[in-house]
Amino acid sequence: MNGRIGNDEVGKPTSKNTSVVDYAISTADVLYLVENFDVLPFSSLFSDIHCPLELVLNCSNIKQSNVNINVESGENNTYIGKWNHDQVNEYKENLDKESISQLLSFIMTKTENVQNVDKNTIDEIVNEIRDVLLNSARNTFGEFVQKTYGFDYTGGKQNHRDWFNTECRRERRAFRKSKRLYKRYGSRIFKERLRRSLHIIGLAETHLVGENTINIDGYKWYGNNRKLIHVRARAGSGGVGLLVKNDIHSQFNVVKVDATTDGILWVQFSEINNQDNCFFVCVVYLPPEHSARSVNIHDFFDTLMSNIYTIPNGSPFYLCGDWNSRVSDIEDYIQGIDFLPERNVVDFTPNSYGDLFCEFLSNINCCILNGRNFINNDYTLCQPEGHRSLTIA
């Protein structure tokens, strides 16, 4: 709204009387409600360098009927289909050449005398360009109808069933959560893997909260649930854990030795008859680089390295999980010093984490197992957008 409405049509500075860094923003359909907008004089009472912004709204024309809409009836809105890059040529062919030619001629006539060009003229040109682009998209990608429902001022969808109370909402949330967990852990594929007598199963992104666990017949759960989640989050996020078969407990003492860092879980397996004979398993979840939950990757690897230095000399250890690191064909060991089987690569697209991950492996004298088992080697993440290898041992 700065420089456009009310007493601020000139566009006053908002910081140190020299620059505009504070803005008031609204959608176009709300502008008619704005009675005045102004940048008030600086006052140290409100800020050290910023000027206060004043916004006056005239809401007397809003009708309650426009806010509370019957949920059952709803309203059908028409939308254009999503952009598909494979249809670029078809989109270009559907552009109305005649409309573009007329629009170009109109623009050329206006540029001959720029003094006569006002805001309405610019809006008209922009609307014409928009219509040309949208009409081509409509003819190329088609349209679909989506039913929308009204919302009340409480921010939630209205439910007019008298019997649907708070307890019903709580039970519905619990049911949906159980359904999500079943899809993730109770699917046919997961059960089939359990039938193959896997002794130790590492899980990343468990999405468990608090002290919640995963219960699978014949297995015991060792987990590290993410501790810091948003107070309004409906479900957990991140989290790692191990499922250890009950038979293992008859041979080994299994102890969770470190779960202080989100995304890292260390578990020690010590032979019952010989406690010095032990090995360690670590499950890792490193959030993607640009996600809202991204971490400092250098601190993350430093933490892992410190954990490894505490392992008794000669005790083997094994790290697995979702590293979100695409290493492509980057060497994960020091050539000329280490002699390892060649790694069969299926994902040739690296990311920025890939280099740092391989450097970390060289520092701890470890190597990637993916691609060095020629019996079974494949992508670890399959999506409609493409395949990639992110889960690495």
pLDDT at 384 over 90: no
Q: At 47, is the pLDDT very low, low, confident or very high (cuts 50, 70, 90)?
A: confident
pLDDT for 26? 83
Q: How many CA atoms lie within 13 A of 197 on its CB side?
A: 2
Highest-confidence segment of 51-65, 181-195, 234-248: 234-248
- Alpha-carbon distance of 250 to 269, in angstroms, equals 11
Please tell me which residue, 73 or 293, carries the higher pLDDT value. Answer: 293
pLDDT for 65? 42
Per-residue model confidence as pLDDT tens digits over 103-145 = 898 888 887 877 888 888 888 889 999 999 999 999 999 888 7
pLDDT for 71? 43
Backbone angles phi, psi at 230, to 5 degrees: -65, 140
pTM: 0.49
pLDDT for 321? 92
Burial annotation 107-144 (CB, 10 A radius, 16+ → b, else e): eeeeeeeeeeeeeeeeeeeeebeeebeeebbebbbeee
- Enclosing H/E stretch for 121: helix 119-141
Please tell me which residue, 156 or 30, carries the higher pLDDT value. Answer: 30
**Token pair recorded at residue 98:** 């005649």
- Alpha-carbon distance of 220 to 233, in angstroms, equals 27
Q: Tell me what percent of the residues of the chain surpass a pLDDT of 70.
A: 80
- Alpha-carbon distance of 30 to 127, in angstroms, equals 19
**DSSP helix/strand/coil, 255:** strand
- Alpha-carbon distance of 30 to 215, in angstroms, equals 52
Identify the sign of the CA torsion 357, 359, 364, 365.
positive
DSSP 277-325: EEEEEEEEE---TTSTT---HHHHHHHHHHHHHTSPTT--EEEEEE---
